[in-house]
Amino acid sequence: MSVAAPEAAAKPDSPPETTGYRNLYILLLVCGFILRFGFVLWKKTYIRAPGSFHPFGPEVCSIAEHIVLGQGFSSPFYQDTGPTAWVAPVYPYLAALVFRLFGIYSVASAIVLLGIQCIIAAATGIAIHALGRRTLGAQIGFFAAWIWALSPICFRWPVSWIWDFTASAFLLSAAFIVTLDVAQKNTRKLWLSLGALWAVIALTNPALLSVMPFTFLYAAFVNHRSFRPWFASMALAGVLFAALVSPWLIRNEIVFGRLIVFRSNFWFEFHFGNYHFSNGMGYSGKHPDANAAEFPSQNTATPSSPSFFCSPSISYSFSGAKFAPSHNAERDALRSGSGSPRFSNVLIPEEPASQPRYQGEARVDFLSAAHLRWHAEIPCQSGSGK
């Protein structure tokens, strides 16, 4: 008894690429870019407001600054703290390239980086259409793409914040499209393209790797049901993925003396959204970019030392203390002395008047244990970056 294989041919409403689709894609790209970049120029989002880091994403652009200054991939919090794996390398190196060509934290650099993000965001509309017409039909893909291109709700991140949000949306959409192509055509070239694309994603935003196993399994399942050979091609795609990400992992092993997979800020972010009295959305008063009290009293710490960020943030985690705006003369002096956008309006802790202190200050529960582990594992040490 034969087993029916899934339909491999394209759906009637999802025809091959035509001149009409090419024209549509050009129109989507042009309209999406003009609207987003026009918003950048209209609202002047490329100009940093006093006391704000926008549009320069703090960690990404701080690392980029230190790369340009010859200090390597290091120091995500403006001050020199040594090598880091706080974020994945693609976006900091992209920002470093722009900084080298147009100036560190210059208006020209902001315009160029926001312009690149606007192009990527506009291209995401094309990816949405291509994905929609292959799954739900050409009409659904058409409307979804134009909603993405025209809706101001979809403008926020590419026009205001230099970070990997925009690239992540585009790369994940592209990964889904390539996965469908692999499932339909099963060529070795497409399998290798899928492995290479996931390597780029891993080095841009490792959080998206949670989806990677499902794309490989889906492509393998469809080809298996169609009685087509797939294992060797999938294995080669996995080898290519490992080869492309291995330089970054080897660098981390050499610099920090132990394996750090892609980036090291998991326990900080975990604590950031789960400390006592947290609303789950994070709070800038507990972030070293915005609060000098959260910054280490000394700028050297080894990966095995819990001194980095440890004593102040643990006490605030247990006490539930709030933070209030204040002027910090030291940070202002740093800002005026180096030319980089340091923060003059930062936050310092103050005891809440109406809220009692948490009655478990000495308690060590799951969250605080995770927090302590992050402090003990933060990969930051003195010396130049690698």
DSSP secondary structure string, 280-330?
Answer: SS--GGGSTTT-GGGS-SSS---TT-TTTTHHHHHHHHHHT-EEEEEE-HH
Q: Which of 83, 77, 80, 79 is nearest to 289 (CA)?
A: 77
Q: Which of 378, 332, 265, 313 is nearest to 78 (CA)?
A: 332
Q: What is the pLDDT of residue 18?
A: 60
Structural domain boundaries in the chain: 164-259, 266-377
Produce one character per residue of 19-57: b if its CB has 16 or more CB atoms within 10 Å, e if not.
eebeebbeebbeebbebbbebbeeeebbeeeeeebbbbb
Q: What is the pLDDT of residue 16?
A: 52
Least confident of 41-50, 146-155, 341-350: 341-350
Is residue 195 within 8 Å of 238, Cβ to Cβ? yes
Q: Residue 282 and residue 298: Cα distance in Å, rounded?
A: 25
Overall average pLDDT of the 195-222 stretch: 97
Give, in order, the Cα–Cα distances in Å from 41 to each of 112, 129, 192, 327. Answer: 12, 27, 40, 31
Confidence of residue 17 (pLDDT cuts 50, 70, 90): low
Q: What is the pLDDT of residue 194?
A: 97
pTM exceeds 0.85: no
Regarding predicted confidence, which is higher, 308 or 288? 288
Q: What is the pLDDT of residue 228?
A: 95
List 346's β-bridge partners, or say none. 326
DSSP category for residue 381: -
Q: What is the pLDDT of residue 284?
A: 67
Q: Which of 231, 235, 209 is nearest to 220 (CA)?
A: 231
* Residue 251: partners with Cβ closer than 8 Å, 6 or more residues away: 73, 386
Produce one character per residue of 87-117: b if its CB has 16 or more CB atoms within 10 Å, e if not.
bbbbbbbbbbbbbeeeebbeeebbbbbbbbb
Least confident of 62-76, 168-182, 269-283: 269-283
Q: What is the pLDDT of residue 274?
A: 81
Confidence of residue 296 (pLDDT cuts 50, 70, 90): low
Regarding predicted confidence, which is higher, 365 or 177? 177
Share of the chain above pLDDT 70, in %: 68
Highest mean pLDDT among 104-118, 302-316, 333-347: 104-118
Q: How many CA atoms lie within 13 A of 55 on its CB side?
A: 27
Overall average pLDDT of the 185-194 stretch: 96
Confidence of residue 330 (pLDDT cuts 50, 70, 90): very low
Q: What is the pLDDT of residue 362?
A: 34
pLDDT of 277 higher than 60: yes
Least confident of 42-46, 70-74, 103-107, 348-352: 348-352
Overall average pLDDT of the 354-372 stretch: 37
Q: Residue 30 and residue 151: Cα distance in Å, rounded?
A: 15
DSSP string over 75-86: -TTSS---B--S
pLDDT of 167 higher than 70: yes
CB atoms within 10 A of CB 69: 17
Least confident of 12-16, 143-147, 170-174, 293-297: 12-16
Q: What is the mean pLDDT of the chain?
A: 77
Is residue 182 within 8 Å of 229, Cβ to Cβ? no
> Three-state SS for 87?
coil
Q: What is the pLDDT of residue 109?
A: 96
Regarding predicted confidence, which is higher, 235 or 368? 235
Regarding predicted confidence, which is higher, 8 or 158? 158
Q: Residue 250 and residue 9: Cα distance in Å, rounded?
A: 43
